[in-house]
With several copies, the nearest count.
Chain A
Amino acid sequence: MFRLSEIAIDTAALRAQLARADAGACVTFEGWVRDRNGGKAVRGLAYQSYAELAEREGRRIVEEARERFAIAAALCVHRVGELAVGELAVWVGVSAGHRDAAFAACRYIIDEVKRRVPIWKNERYADGASGWLHPDDTPVA
């Protein structure tokens, strides 16, 4: 499952959805809004998305993870809209029989989400400026 969320992500509820009696491992990834980027103080950020395509591509990525790795369940939720420093921007959770698959699938999902899902980050800086970011977190020229 992949979805976008305009409100704070309830990680406890998501984690509960991963429980399986035959799962011995659970790996989660959280992306948090940092207070700086490239030496500039960050006040917050906004995520814009192409929602229809983002949810389609995100579901495809989670499905790929289920095909590639021996996992029990996988979920990913990505925030959109305005976020403050310290807020949770993206959550990935994977349960599996064993930890190899759980780690590999969790890493796969966040890497592919960052690479492929049409979501764009606009950072607001302490000096009043703001700007769209490239995938490597450098500003758009």
Chain B
Amino acid sequence: MNYRLLYFASLRDAAGVAEERVQSAARDPRALYAEQAARHGFAFAPARLRVAVNGAFTGWDHALADGDEVAFLPPVSGG
């Protein structure tokens, strides 16, 4: 499947890009993050992150569809 991945804050620094398109056999955010964490060397365990698909928060077991926009969100620090 094809996904569009968005990266923010320290994940963006680690990936070296703000977004990228990937081909992956992963069918949920959990598997997709494991794959990308290994590739980019992300330090965060999934429990520290939230996941959003197509601009809405969702769970790590969400069933992904081809073309989905997926973001792994580090702990926020606005305000």
Contacts and interface: CB of A to CB of B under 8 A. Distances in A.
A–B direct contact (CB < 8 Å): yes
Interface of A: 31, 47-50, 52-54, 56-57, 78, 89-90, 110, 113-122, 132-135, 137, 140-141
Interface residues of B, number: 20
A119 B55 CA distance: 14
Given A56-B55, A56-B56, A141-B43, A50 B77 contact: no
A110 B71 contact: no
Contacts, number: 75
Interface in B1-43: 6, 8-10, 12-13, 43
Contacts of B43: 141
B47 interface: no
A13 B2 CA distance: 45
A120 B9 contact: yes
B8 A120 contact: yes
Contacts of A110: 79
A29 B75 CA distance: 22
B74 interface: yes
Contacts of B76: 114-120, 135
Contacts of B71: 50, 53, 118
Nearest to A89: B79
A50 B73 contact: yes
A120 B78 contact: yes
A135 B75 CA distance: 6
B55 A114 contact: no
A137 B74 CA distance: 14
A32 to B, nearest CB: 11
